[in-house]
Structure formats: structure tokens, C-alpha cells
Structure 1
């Protein structure tokens, strides 16, 4: 026999659109460790900068070739 919780959970059905108080933030959904848009942008910038700075002479050669074609 299902518990009261299982019965309640199984019979409780609402469409999201019918909710009166919808979350508007990650915290409202119970997500406490989400990154902000600024944090995401900074992480991407750091990753790209690290990739470019770690490419060494290969990137310098590519830049020189590009300048020569212009």
C-alpha cells in the first residue's frame, strides 16, 4: 500500500503555467550555486585568454600570415 506521501505526490498535478507564484531567480528554484551572467562571461574570457596566451609562437605565426594577406 502506498504511503500518504506517495499518494499525494501521484495525485498532485499542476501545469507550470497555472502556478500563481513562479520563481524568478535561480534561488527561487532552490539552486544556490549557480553562476551569475558576469561570472559566466568572466570564466569564458579567462578560458579564451588562457588558450590564446598558451599558444605561443603558433599564434604569432598565424597573426603574421593574416597580416601578410591583408
Structure 2
């Protein structure tokens, strides 16, 4: 399971680099931060249960934030 967090780090790095190339600096910084967190978590050798709880917490937080932002902050 720890390798999956390193894979998530790779993909968030790829998205961060693409957003940096596209001129979306705040998005790039968010994804670079996520990359650092995922790579650090990938090398911590935690239990599988802990990795699953961290992943679900991340998913709930990110989807909740995305839903809030798209519903309340974006103009139509």
C-alpha cells in the first residue's frame, strides 16, 4: 500500500508540472504540496489500515472542498 502513495505522488507531480506550464501557479503549488505529502507518506511504512484511513480522509476532504468551491465560490 505504501507504493500507491508514491504513485499518487508521481501523478500529482505530473499534474503540478502541467498546471505550472499552463500558467496556473496556485493550482501548481497545491499539487506540489500534495506530491510532497504523498511521497513522505509513501516512505513511512505505516500499516495498511492507516494508509486506507489516510486515503479516505484525503478523498473526503478533497471532494468536500471541490464541491464547496464549485457550488459557493464559482460564478455561473
Of Structure 1 and Structure 2, the greater helix share is in 2
Normalising by structure 2, we get a TM-score of 0.28
Q: Which has the higher contact order (CA 8 A, sep 6+)?
A: 2
Q: Which has the larger radius of gyration?
A: 1
